[in-house]
């Protein structure tokens, strides 16, 4: 397997039956969407008329399930020379798609790419064989999308209930005279007036706000959680910057020792107690 140096590759320790020729690798690209932290690649060679059809299919399905549970937000790419193996069962069990739709060896499509990255990559394109191979090679490129595309975000309307607004509406409830309720004798009219007043107050103290969501956001990620995450990141980077500044200051304040001093002189100088000036009562 050959890879670009910018991709971090880790060969996974997967127990593979001796009858199969499969290698599992985890790739971590330098830049990737938020919902694709890594790519798990299964490199497969299935010999022609090999009696290991069922064994290979079961191995791929079980391994993919295990690795996706171990590595969250990972995507799968199963590729290689499958010869006459039908990938239908693999596609159905793992909800992934075979995306090679052109002959790779004479009139047969033997080399396959089965993946759940079809929405992030363009369809593969055939290229001439490499070296003495009689199989076509493939060029599979990412789709060119901008991360700041407006269509990537959805907007929803919500009514935040901050503590300050809750305190304000509490004070309003205590001080409001409720004249339109107390001066009316009809019960139904009292209820209508009360409901109208409360609704208007609710809309006043808790105004609507537009919130932008990214498709990769998990359902339980609320605006409040996003604010807390932003505060955490800001605090982390500020603390790290202050720590680096202190480290630089300490390193610049190191004692300068003579070039030809002995080990005993170094020990004495570095462990010399600091003199403190002051008045003893």
Which of 21, 12, 90 has the alpha carbon at shortest distance from 50?
Answer: 21
Residue 257: what pLDDT?
A: 56
Contact residues for 168 (Cβ-Cβ < 8 A; gap 6+): 205
Is CATH 3.60.10.10 what the domain over 8-139 is classified as, yes or no?
Answer: yes
Q: Is 169:205 a contact under the CB 8 Å cutoff?
A: yes
Kindly give the confidence (pLDDT) of every residue in the chain, 281 residues in length, as a single tens digit, with 9 standing for 90 and above. 666 677 788 999 999 999 999 999 999 877 766 677 889 999 999 998 889 999 999 999 999 999 989 988 889 999 999 998 999 999 999 999 999 999 999 899 999 999 998 888 899 999 999 888 899 999 998 886 544 444 567 787 888 888 999 999 999 999 999 999 999 999 999 999 999 999 999 999 999 988 777 776 777 777 788 888 888 888 887 776 776 665 555 554 555 555 566 655 655 655 555 444 444 44
Q: How far apart are CA 181 and CA 270, in angstroms?
A: 82
Q: How far apart are CA 60 and CA 53, in angstroms?
A: 11
Q: What's the distance, CA 187 to chain centroid?
A: 57
- For the chain, count helices (H), then strands (E): 7, 10
Angle, to 10 degrees, between the axis of helix 163-175 and the axis of helix 187-205?
150
Residue 280: what pLDDT?
A: 44
The SS3 of residue 223 is helix
Give span(s): CATH 3.60.10.10, the chain: 8-139
> Tokens 């397997």 sit at which residue?
1
Structure tokens at 238: 């500020």
Q: Is 43:22 a contact under the CB 8 Å cutoff?
A: yes
> Tokens 């992030």 sit at which residue?
120
Residue 148: what pLDDT?
A: 45
Beta pairing class for 125-127 and 137-139: antiparallel
The SS3 of residue 39 is strand
Which of 233, 216, 232, 229 has the alpha carbon at shortest distance from 72?
Answer: 216
> Tokens 């890879």 sit at which residue?
3
Q: Is 40:60 a contact under the CB 8 Å cutoff?
A: no
Residue 274: what pLDDT?
A: 47
């Amino acid at each position: 397997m050959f890879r670009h140096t910018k991709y971090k590759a880790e060969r996974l320790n997967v127990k593979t039956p001796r009858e199969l020729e499969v290698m599992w690798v985890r790739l971590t690209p330098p830049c990737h969407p938020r919902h694709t932290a890594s790519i798990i690649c299964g490199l497969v060679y299935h010999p022609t008329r090999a009696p290991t059809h069922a064994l290979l299919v079961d191995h791929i399905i079980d391994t993919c399930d295990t690795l996706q549970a171990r590595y969250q937000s990972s995507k799968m790419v199963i590729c290689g020379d499958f010869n006459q193996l039908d990938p239908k069962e693999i596609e159905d069990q793992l909800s992934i798609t075979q995306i090679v739709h052109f002959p790779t060896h004479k009139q047969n499509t033997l080399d396959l790419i089965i993946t759940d990255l079809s929405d992030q990559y363009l369809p593969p394109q055939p290229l001439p064989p490499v070296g003495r191979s009689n199989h076509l090679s493939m060029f599979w490129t990412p789709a060119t999308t901008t991360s700041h595309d407006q269509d990537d975000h959805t907007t929803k309307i919500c009514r935040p209930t901050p503590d300050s607004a809750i305190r304000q509406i509490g004070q309003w409830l205590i001080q409001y005279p409720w004249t339109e309720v107390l001066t009316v004798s009809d019960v139904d009219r009292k209820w209508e007036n009360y409901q109208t007043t409360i609704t208007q107050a609710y809309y006043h103290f808790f105004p609507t706000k537009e919130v932008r969501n990214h498709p990769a956001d998990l359902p339980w990620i609320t605006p409040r959680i996003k604010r807390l995450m932003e505060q955490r990141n800001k605090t982390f980077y500020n603390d790290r910057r202050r720590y680096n500044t202190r480290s630089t200051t300490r390193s610049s304040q190191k004692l300068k020792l003579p070039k030809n001093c002995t080990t005993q002189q170094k020990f004495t100088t570095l462990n010399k107690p600091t003199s403190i000036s002051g008045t003893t009562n």
